[in-house]
Structure 1
Amino acid sequence: MISLASCGAGKKEGDARQAPLVTAATVASARFIDRIEAVGSARANEQVTLSAPVTQRIDRINFEDGGFVAQGQVIAVLAAGQQNAQLADARARAREAEQQLARLSALKDRGFATNASVDAQIAAAASARAQAAEAIASIGDRVIRAPFAGYASLRTVSAGAVVSAGTEIATISDISRIKLDFPVPETMLSAVKPGQTIEARAAAYPDQPFRGTIATIDPVVDPATRSVMVRAVLPNGDLRLKPGMLLTVAIESGARVAPAVPEPAIIGQGADRFVFLIGEDDVVKRTPVKVGVRRDGMIEITEGLKPGQKIVGEGVVKVADGAKVRTAGPAAAKPTQQASAE
């Protein structure tokens, strides 16, 4: 009797060892988003470098370092003494030519001047007016104006300095909006389109996302990198973003709801993936699945499972196909969880 009781107790202990304790999880629906990540460079909405058109002395500088300038505002004025003198001379010649033309026209009406002399004087008057216009244009070239509103760069020249043609005087940048250029692999091109929302982050503001939209996609793929340049536009009302900044870009697309399971529930064998489906009487079945994107510990299941099914969430190394298990749980995936591709 004692011997038989001992054998019975040993059998029960063996049965207990054959039923490992695992954590169960319920397959639940979760929202997944495909995510493309890239690195891009920030550019000003508009930017221009204003340079001296001729070699000349600077008479006046009319902007502050980093200050705001309005469209059409005078940035600098170059000396134009010689051009002013030329303009005065050209205007005097134009007046003289007009007066001479009036006298010849009167003489012609009385028959004392030929048509040829009148025509010659008309040409002389037109030439004098053209010389005056040329002098005015030359003076205007020495007044450097902002072509659009923006912020001026740091000043590197001073009034009184003689600058040569092409010397930079100021750079004007319109940073009310930022153009963000970044490459996208050609394999991902079908997931990118104008109007799509992007999220960018700068190292200077790691906790603040900057959101914008894709404006343009370059029609040409770079044969060296097999990528295409995409340009997004980001509002920059607080002027935090600066031209030249390096930003990480995330493009979200393909939002969908799909079955999701915890990462530890997935078993890998080569290119195949499996889960242990818990059936009646807590008997597990090795079930093949196809997986999608993953994030925050959850994996999308594209084929093989349905929401509501119970699987082994943790402890898959303890079980085998057809084995009976003891479950602790179930720990269901949160249906409100959002995941995206890395």
Structure 2
Amino acid sequence: MIRTPDRLRPFLFLSVAALSLSGCSLVDSITGKSGAAAEKGGNAKGGPGSPPAVVVEKVAYTPLVDSIEAVGTARANEQADLNSTVTERIDRINFADGQFVPRGAVIAELVRSEQGANLKESQARLREAELQLARLKQLQGQGFATKARIDEQQASVDVARAQTQQASSQIADRVIRAPFSGYLSLRRISPGTVVNAGTTVATIVDHSRIKLDFTVPETFLPALKPGLEISARAAAFPGEEFRGRIASIDPLVDPVTRAATARAVLPNPDLRLRPGMLMTVDIKSDPRDALTVPELAVVGEGSGAYVWRVSEDNQASRTIIRAGTRRDGRVEVLDGLKAGERVVAEGTVKLRGPGPIKPVEREAAAKNAPEAVPAA
């Protein structure tokens, strides 16, 4: 440590005091300004003391709709597995892969020779019983046949008729027909294959229109109703929308997911949509004209939100609002503002508390961009 000699200490103290008294004049001589003039010049050019420049915008009514997005699965208008009801060998297949068939068309035939023979036998018995009944009725008119004998023969006729119907039913069980018009799936079996009862011979699909099933949270159920229009998109057709309407809503809510299933119907005249496709659904409801502000104007605070409202004399103050739907960069204002009032649309981060601002109207900011638009 360097020690100052005792005889030099008085002169050192006098020198420090002189420099302290002349500090302002030294700064002035270097900068060419006095302290007051320097402060005044800084504020004049938008320095720390000037009002912040922000973009303001009027609160206005905007067309608005609520939007719900969901994911659904496309299903055919009608779809059925054509199964064999008996265990038998396939005799004939009457369709090609993907073929369109009308309702009632014969898809496949199983061997039915035994059932055909039974049908012929029962038909012969029925004819014989009917002839015998006719003769007895003639004899009854002549007084040679009793009523009891007529009733007995009538019962024989009824039994023979029932046996004939049973044989016909057994034959029908061995002929597989299309229950409705549609397209058949790829063929899975060949003639000569022995199929068991319940074996699927083919699947028939009618996808002239698509049933789109999708789930929505229970909180969205009040916004859904039959007849509401929806739009859907499929990954197979990027950028293309398929429009339809909600047909029905499942009355049950899943107790695990707390979601309900809704079904929309989409026309599919060109058959491009296929059952099983994954589709995204966009539902728009409650169209209205609502008060809105730019999304950047809304500042979140806890569970609430506020905006900076600008008075006629360009004073900004915090105003608590109740926000609603957010869509396309706008926020619906349910309470807290009126139409025509101005709010800070961009530059809210510059505001630390109530005070004056330098407003830049949205139109002027857009015209002079990027110079006039302050950083948000």
Mark yes or no: TM-score above 0.5.
yes
**CA offsets 1:221-273 (integer angstroms, 9 cap, x no match):** 22222222222211111212222222222221121212222222222222232
Q: Secondary structure at the match of 1:148?
A: coil
Q: Secondary structure at the match of 2:292?
A: strand
Q: Secondary structure at the match of 2:251?
A: coil
Partner of 2:327: 295
d(CA) in 1 for partners of 2:217 and 2:76? 24
The 5 Å alignment of 1:67-78 reads 67-78=99-110
d(CA) in 2 for partners of 1:32 and 1:333? 25
Structure 1 residue 319 corresponds to structure 2 residue 348:
no
Structure 1 residue 129 corresponds to structure 2 residue 156:
no
Cα drift, residue 332 of structure 1: 9.0
d(CA) in 2 for partners of 1:112 and 1:255? 89
Residue of structure 2 aligned with 1:254, choices 254, 269, 286: 286
The 5 Å alignment of 1:160-309 reads 160-309=192-341
Does the CA-based 8 Å contact 1:43-1:178 persist in structure 2?
yes
d(CA) in 1 for partners of 2:90 and 2:275? 28
Structure 1 residue 13 corresponds to structure 2 residue 42:
yes
d(CA) in 2 for partners of 1:103 and 1:115? 13
Does the CA-based 8 Å contact 2:88-2:195 persist in structure 1?
yes
Q: Residue 84 and residue 319 in structure 1: after superposition, are their counterparts in 2 closer, same or farther (change >3 A)?
A: same
Cα drift, residue 86 of structure 1: 1.0
**CA offsets 1:130-164 (integer angstroms, 9 cap, x no match):** 21222122212222111111111111011222211
Runs of 4+ aligned residues of structure 1 deviating over 6 Å after TM superposition are 2-6
Partner of 1:39: 71
Q: Secondary structure at the match of 1:97?
A: helix
Does the CA-based 8 Å contact 2:54-2:358 persist in structure 1?
yes
Residue of structure 1 aligned with 2:116, choices 60, 76, 84: 84
Cα drift, residue 5 of structure 1: 6.5
**CA offsets 1:276-332 (integer angstroms, 9 cap, x no match):** 223334332222222212123222222222333332222111123333222333249
Does the CA-based 8 Å contact 2:183-2:206 persist in structure 1?
yes
Does the CA-based 8 Å contact 1:262-1:333 persist in structure 2?
no
Cα drift, residue 169 of structure 1: 0.9
d(CA) in 1 for partners of 2:287 and 2:144? 92
- Between structures 1 and 2, the one with greater strand share: 1
**CA offsets 1:1-23 (integer angstroms, 9 cap, x no match):** x9886633521413532222222
d(CA) in 1 for partners of 2:277 and 2:365? 39
d(CA) in 2 for partners of 1:137 and 1:56? 15
d(CA) in 1 for partners of 2:324 and 2:207? 40
TM-score normalised to the size of structure 2?
0.81
Partner of 2:361: 329
Amino acid at match of 1:13: G
Cα drift, residue 175 of structure 1: 0.9
Q: Residue 19 and residue 93 in structure 1: after superposition, are their counterparts in 2 closer, same or farther (change >3 A)?
A: same
Amino acid at match of 2:82: L
Mean CA deviation greater in 165-174 or 123-132: 123-132
Q: Residue 110 and residue 189 in structure 1: after superposition, are their counterparts in 2 closer, same or farther (change >3 A)?
A: same
Q: Residue 10 and residue 131 in structure 1: after superposition, are their counterparts in 2 closer, same or farther (change >3 A)?
A: same
The 5 Å alignment of 1:11-160 reads 11-14=40-43, 16-17=46-47, 18-160=50-192
Larger Rg: 2
Number of residue pairs matched?
333
TM-score normalised to the size of structure 1?
0.88
**CA offsets 1:111-141 (integer angstroms, 9 cap, x no match):** 4444333332222222222212221222122
Cα drift, residue 208 of structure 1: 1.5
Mean CA deviation greater in 79-88 or 260-269: 260-269
Amino acid at match of 2:57: A
Provide structure 1 residue ranges, at least 5 long, that are not aligned to the other structure.
Answer: 335-342
Provide structure 2 residue ranges, at least 5 long, that are not aligned to the other structure.
Answer: 1-27, 367-376
Cα drift, residue 82 of structure 1: 0.9
Does the CA-based 8 Å contact 1:261-1:300 persist in structure 2?
yes
Mean CA deviation greater in 179-188 or 139-148: 179-188
